Chains A and B, each alone.
Chain A
Amino acid sequence: MNRILPLLPWLLALALLAVLPQVLTVKYYLHLSILALIWVIVAQGQNLIQGFTGYVSIVQAGFMGIGAYGSTLMGLNFQWPLWATMIMAPLITALFALATGYPSLRVKGHYFAIVTLAFNLIIVIVLVNYSELTKGEAGISNIPKPWGGNREAFYYLALVLAASLTLLAALIARSRVGEILLAIRQNEDLVAALGIAAWKYKLFAFVISAMYAGLGGALYAHFQGFINPEIFGVAQSLDAILAVILGGSGTIAGPAIGAFLVVFLPEFLRFADSFRLILYGLILVLATIFMPIGIVGIIKAAFARIARREVRHGG
């Protein structure tokens, strides 16, 4: 029973998400839910490098772009089947991440963040200017959609992938690799002193994180049917960071909750008209200041407090 209990919220959430398309009468919310599930994948990837390893990467949207354009261009230029290009997308992104991660991870802290930010800018500049291939700022339209654009079917695809990749992130976090990543976050010098090649683990986290983003990008492209460089700019990378911080950095549930927040919150604030973004910004600032451990962190702390009180009463 004790083993099942921690899984209960996950199972409940999964069951709720599974029946969601059947209970939603307004398909707009299904549209947002699909975007949120794509962002769950992207945020879980971000969490591996940011939350577990302690390296804030500002290139997640750039990697999404590589996945999105990779999958789209392979389909359009080589007539590869959609499923094949979607599988290839994270692999292509991994190659880019290997090439960029190796030099980037030689620096730490803010310097790493700035280097990755520069990579994101470079990716966007290339996407804008290499217009013979990418069609530049005008973007690529009519990207093939699976099942003829059936949103319900796409929702379940996104749900299965988001759930599987969340499970994979949990397995990585609980493995020896995950422990070393956490150790790097706590004290990288100590890890090195133990004779562990920290760079290999950091590179692993960075590449896996990019693969998550690459798959998220490919899903985005084949869901929306349109991509242009603007979608994969630094602002979106910051959204990935925010999703992790808001939900709870270094937790598994956190990025999933945060992803839904960064998609749904700006939409729910549409009633505020032109004050919407000010309000959104304000909420984010307040949340970051007053909830640095994220929603999951707060819930965990609340449960711990209740447990302590029960022990005290029992004792």
Chain B
Amino acid sequence: MSKHKFTRACAALALTLVAGSSLAAEKKLTVGVADALTGGGAVYGLPQANAVKMAAEEINAAGGIKVGPDIYKIDVIAYDDKANPTEATNAVRKLIDRDGVKYILGFCCSGSTSAVASFIGNEKAVMLVGNAAERSITTKKIPNLVRTRPPADYTGQAAGTFIARKGQKRIAVLGALDVGFYAQYVDSVEREIKKVGGEIIAREVFSLKDRDMTPQLTKIRGLNPDAILVVGYVEPAAFVYRQAVELGMNIPRYGFTSGSEEQFLRVTTSEQMEGVWDLRPTELTLLSASKNGIAYHANYTKKYNASPSPSSPYAYDQLYALKAAIEAAGTVDNTEAVAKALRNLAVPPQVVMQYQPVDGKMFDVNGQAYTSNGAFQWQKGKWVFVEDLPSDSKAYSQFLSTLK
């Protein structure tokens, strides 16, 4: 080879390498978010969308997703589904058909999530569900769907054991019982308190848009219960807590709401909330025990100038789980391989929630993840983590596998 030819060959090689590396550096992976950004579900959906965007920025800043020799930077497109099934279908169709998105995150609310889950199995896409707690979402064995939040009845069982241990026998329930997963939570509580001779003496209903719950509370007060259990979205639940105090009901108040301090204080005062229990998955609190949780809370608050809702890390964790699965599968294009990798994933170290792996894996065979459950109590303006609630993720996973 002549000197000239050699120089030219070297230059060409160098150019190819430079061009190649610069192309690799500029690869982009677009992930979609379909969530309730407006309307009643936005208290859960908007923080979830924010959490995914924040996780994407963190991952990009840390070097992106490594797939073989390529590095992918994450781009997030978020669409509002108003927690409505038709809107959710439209949003996801837009993400898949028009935007060419293969990975869809978010999904705070059960109705809209179930609508998308009904067709996602036929798509070359992977769906990661967050806060939506309806059990049936992960009973259909959809191979390309996983969920970070445990079903409501898994938590209800633990909550029932806790209430039974506290010694209250006659429990009055007030909640959004026409919403399937809230009813499932209450059924699980009832099963547990019945074991110690307790009973649910009233099941009063409010709708998610109701704000005056004094008629139901007055009726409940007349039944002289030992405690009340409130299940529902944050705002109506906050009104119940407030109005119970206003009606002079000085009895223990248990709940299943997952609202942040900020969200409750928009409706009620800290004094009116004092002593309220929230029996829920061990989600984020201001005094979160985990290092990741504290960092997440600080970063989110700095970025969005508002505290994150306790359930928002379900979506944050989705993106880290997806990153780990893509890196394990070694592909962004083969969604089947990524979905499979998700099912075999150990809990990534960056996640915020405290997951209870089943057989060492973050998601069980149903695509379901389990967090520990906890008893949180409102003390002097803050949700304080008091204790873990006994939860058997493996036993529940086996039970879930038996359902259709």
Contact = CB atoms under 8 A, between A and B. Distances in A.
Interface of A: 26-29, 31-32, 35, 128-129, 131, 135-139, 141-143, 149, 224-228, 230-231, 266-267, 270, 273-274, 276-277
A38 to B, nearest CB: 10
Given A138-B111, A267-B90, 17 more contacts: A28-B93, A28-B97, A31-B89, A31-B90, A135-B180, A136-B180, A138-B134, A139-B111, A141-B117, A149-B122, A226-B85, A228-B111, A228-B114, A230-B84, A266-B87, A274-B80, A277-B39
Contacts of A136: 178, 180, 183
24 contacts: A29-B98, A31-B89, A32-B93, A35-B86, A128-B178, A129-B178, A131-B180, A136-B180, A137-B179, A138-B111, A138-B180, A139-B111, A141-B136, A141-B140, A149-B119, A226-B85, A226-B118, A228-B85, A228-B111, A231-B86, A267-B94, A273-B37, A273-B80, A276-B80
Contacts of A129: 178
A226 B119 CA distance: 8
A117 to B, nearest CB: 16
Contacts of A138: 110-111, 114, 134, 136, 180-181
Q: Specify which of A35, A137, A267, A273 lies most central, judged by the most chain B CB atoms within 10 Å of its CB.
A: A137
A228 B179 CA distance: 11
A224 B89 contact: yes
Given A28-B94, A136-B180, A274-B37, A228 B134 contact: no
- Cβ-closest 6 pairs across A and B: A28-B97, A226-B118, A138-B180, A141-B118, A28-B98, A27-B97
Contacts of A143: 118
B82 to A, nearest CB: 8
A232 B50 CA distance: 30
A136 B183 CA distance: 11
Nearest to B180: A138
B149 to A, nearest CB: 15
B115 interface: yes
Contact of A26 (B85, B91, B98): B98
B50 to A, nearest CB: 12
A224 B97 contact: no
A224 B98 contact: no
Contact of A226 (B94, B97, B115): B115
Contacts of B82: 277
A128 B180 CA distance: 9
Contacts of B37: 273-274
Interface of B: 37-39, 79-80, 82, 84-87, 89-91, 93-94, 96-98, 110-111, 114-115, 117-119, 122, 134, 136, 140, 178-181, 183
A40 to B, nearest CB: 16
Nearest to A28: B97
A220 to B, nearest CB: 8
A28 B96 CA distance: 8
Contacts of A226: 85, 89, 114-115, 117-119
A83 B90 CA distance: 25
A204 to B, nearest CB: 30
A298 to B, nearest CB: 28
Nearest to B100: A26
Contact of B85 (A28, A139, A142, A270): A139
A6 B93 CA distance: 37
B115 A139 contact: yes
A276 B81 CA distance: 11
Contacts of A149: 119, 122
Contact of B178 (A32, A137, A266): A137
Contacts of A266: 87
Nearest to B91: A270
Nearest to B178: A128
A228 B136 contact: no
A139 B114 contact: yes
B94 A270 contact: yes
Nearest to B99: A28
Contacts of A270: 79-80, 91, 94
Nearest to B135: A138
Contacts of A135: 180
B111 A137 contact: yes
A31 B88 CA distance: 13
Nearest to B134: A138
A277 B82 CA distance: 10
Contacts of B39: 277
A142 B180 contact: no
Nearest to A138: B180
A227 B112 CA distance: 10
B228 to A, nearest CB: 22
B275 to A, nearest CB: 31
A247 to B, nearest CB: 20
A225 B118 contact: yes
Contacts of A224: 85-86, 89, 115, 118-119
Contacts of B80: 270, 273-274, 276
